[in-house]
Amino acid sequence: MQPPAERASLAAPWRRAAQGANLLAADGGLGVTIFEEMTTLAVQTGAINLGQGFPDEDGPQSMKDAARDAIAAGANQYAPGKGFPVLREAVAAHQERFYGLAVDPESEVIITTGATEALAASLLAFVQPGDEVVTFEPFYDAYGAIISLAGATHVTAPLSAPDFLPELASLEAAFSSRTRAILLNNPHNPAGSVFPRELLQGIVDLAVKHDALIISDEVYEHLTFGVPHIPVATLPGAADRTITISSAGKTFSFTGWKIGWLSGPKDLVAAVRTVKQFLSYSSGTPFQGAVAAGLALPDEFFADAASTLQRKRDILSAGLRAAGFDVFTPQGTYFVNVDTAPLGITDSVDLARRLPGLVGVAAIPVPVFCHPEGAERVRSLLRFAFCKKVDLLEEAAARLATLGSKL
Ligand code: PMP
Ligand code: GLN
C-alpha cells in the first residue's frame, strides 16, 4: 500500500490542514506542530521548557477532588452531546457574573473538547470553500489548519511590535465581499495583547458592514494584567453575530482536561452543535462537574490567578531584558515576546532550534504563527511562556543571561 503522501491529492484535507499550520517540511513531508517539536527537543536536551504554554503547577485542589470523586461515583460514560446541565448553567452564570451577558444554558451554550473543538466546529459549521476568514497575524497555529480544513481562504491583518494592536485600516483592507467570518483572539496568543473597547467596537462595525460572523477565542479571558478583558459579544451590534469560545485549560491550569465551551445566539449554537456531534460527540464526563465548580469559585480566585501570573511575567521579562533582548511587555496570556535582533540574531526559527543546546531553555519562534509572507515582519521574534514556577523562571533567566557569550 502506498503511503498517504503519495496517494492523496494536494487537496486532501490532511494536507490542507498541514499547509494551513505551516507543517509541511521543506521536502514536502509532514512535520509536527511547533509545540510538539519544541517540547520534544526540551525533553531530549533536559532544557527548561518555556515553549509550549502549559503550567507546571496544577489548578485548585477542590477541582481535582471533584473530578476524582466523580470517577469514583461512576461518572464515566458519555456526557450529553451539548454537555451536562450543571456545566452549561455554570458557563451561563459565569458570563452573567463577569460580563453581564445573559445566556440561556439550554439553547445558547455547548460544552466542547477544549476550545480547539469549539473553534473547529464553529468554522466547519459556517465556512464553505470559496469563503474567506480573516484573522490577525501572527495567529494561533490551529486557526490556519482549521480554516484550511474547511476549504476556505485565510486572509490576515498584521499585528506589529511593540504593542501588537491592529490598525483598523489594515483590518478593513482584509475584508471583502467573500468574508464569511472574522476569527478574533483576545487576549491574543502569541502576541500577548489585550484589545481595548474602541478597537473591538471598530472590529464589530466592520463585521456588521460586511455581514460577517465573529468567532471570538477568549481562552485567556481571566489572565490579563491591569487591563480589563472585554468580551466582544458585549458590544453594540455584536451579540447576534458572535460565538464566544473559552476553556478551562488556561483559567484553571488544567490544560490536559480539554474542557471548553462556546456561547452565542441560539440558531448559531444549534448549527455548531450539529457539527460538534460528529467530531467528538461529547467528552470529559468526570471533569465537567469539576469545571462547573471551578467557574463558581469566588472572584478572588480569578483575581489571584491573574496577579500571580503577572508577577511571573515581570520576573521572566526582567531576566529577558538582562539577557539583552528587546522585551514587549504583554497585557495578558501566558506569553512574552522578545526581539532577538539586539543580540545580532536575524532568524528566530534557527535560534529556537539551537537554544536548548546552547543554554538549556526552549522557546517558540514567532514566524511559525504566520504565513510565509507575513513571517518576514517577525523574523527575529521569539515567544517565551511564563506560566511556570518562579524558581524555574529565575533559573531560565540565569541561563539566558549567558546566551550573548555563546553565540
Ligand atoms: N486558543 C488559543 C489562543 C490557545 O492558546 C489555545 C491553547 N491552549 C487554544 C485555543 C486551545 O485550547 P484548548 O486546549 O482548550 O483546546
Ligand atoms: N496553546 C498552547 C501554546 O500556544 C499550545 C497548545 C498545543 O500544544 N496545541 O503554547
E strand or H helix at 132, and its extent?
A: strand 132-137
Question: If you measure from the C-alpha of residue 218 to the centroid of ligand 1, how many angstroms do you get, rounded to a whole number?
Answer: 9
Ordered per-residue pLDDT tens for the chain, 407 residues: 444 544 444 568 888 888 888 887 666 666 788 888 899 999 999 999 999 999 999 999 999 999 999 999 999 999 999 999 999 999 999 999 999 999 999 999 999 999 999 999 999 999 999 999 999 999 999 999 999 999 999 999 999 999 999 999 999 999 999 999 999 999 999 999 999 999 999 999 999 999 999 999 999 999 999 999 999 999 999 999 999 999 999 999 999 999 999 999 999 999 999 999 999 999 999 999 999 999 999 999 999 999 999 999 999 999 999 999 999 999 999 999 999 999 999 999 999 999 999 999 999 999 999 999 999 999 999 999 999 999 999 999 999 999 999 99
Ligand nearest the Cα of residue 185 is 1
DSSP-derived secondary structure for 137-174:
ES--HHHHHHHHHTTPEEEEEE--TTT----HHHHHHH
Q: Are strands 326-328 and 335-339 parallel, antiparallel or unpaired?
A: antiparallel
For residue 33, report the distance from its CA to the centre of ligand 1, in Å: 13
- Cα 223 to ligand 1 centre (Å): 13
Radius of gyration in angstroms for the set of CA atoms belonging to the chain, rounded to a whole number: 21
The residue to mutate among 250, 276, 335, 366, having the most atoms of ligand 1 within 8 angstroms of its beta carbon, is: 250
Any idea which ligand is nearest the CA of 258?
Answer: 1
- Residue 261 is predicted with a pLDDT of 99
User: Which atom from ligand 1 is nearest to the alpha carbon of 119?
Assistant: 10
Provide the whole-model pTM.
Answer: 0.96
pLDDT of residue 99: 98
Do 250 and 187 contact (CB within 8 A), yes or no? no
CB atoms inside a 10 Å sphere around CB 106: 12
Of the listed ligands, the closest to the CA of 139 is: 1
For atom 14 of ligand 1, which residue has the closest CA?
A: 114
Does the domain formed by 62-296 have CATH 3.30.70.1090? Answer: no
* DSSP H/E element including 339: strand 335-339
Atom of ligand 2 nearest to the CA of 385: 10
- Separation of CA 114 and ligand 1 centre (Å): 7
CA of 286 to the centre of ligand 2 (A): 23
Pairing of strands 361-362, 48-49: parallel
Question: What single-letter DSSP state applies at residue 79?
Answer: P
Q: Where do you find CATH 3.40.640.10 in the chain? A: 62-296
Q: Is 35 in the pocket of ligand 2 (CB under 6 A)?
A: yes
| 52 CB within 6 A, ligand 2 | yes
Ligand with the closest atom to the CA of 280:
1
Residue from 222, 228, 282 nearest 252 by CA = 222
Give distance in angstroms: CA of 53 to centre of ligand 2: 5
Ligand 1 center from residue 403 Cα (angstroms): 30
Give the C-alpha separation, 119 to 276, whole Å. 10
Distance, in Å, from the CA atom of 210 to the CA atom of 176, rounded to the nearest integer, reads: 7
Please choose from 22, 23, 34, 35 the residue to mutate so as to test ligand 2's pocket, defined by most ligand atoms within 8 A of CB: 35
- 249 CA to middle of ligand 2, Å? 10
Query: Which segments of the chain belong to CATH 3.90.1150.10?
Result: 33-58+301-406
Q: Which residue, by CA, sits nearest to atom 15 of ligand 1? A: 114
For ligand 2, the distance from its centroid to the CA atom of residue 64, given in whole angstroms, is 22
> Is any ligand 1 atom within 6 A of the Cβ of residue 141?
no
Does the C-beta of 189 come closer than 6 Å to ligand 2? yes
Q: Which ligand is nearest to the CA of 38?
A: 2
CA dist 118 to 109, 168, 183, 274, Å?
11, 27, 12, 12
The C-alpha angle with vertex 260 and arms to 255 and 262, in degrees rounded to 5, equals: 155
* Ligand 2 pocket member 40 (CB < 6 A): no
CATH 3.90.1150.10 for domain 33-58+301-406? yes
Residue written as cell 451577558? 101
* 324 CA to centre of ligand 1 in angstroms: 30
Which ligand has the shortest distance to the CA of 383?
Answer: 2
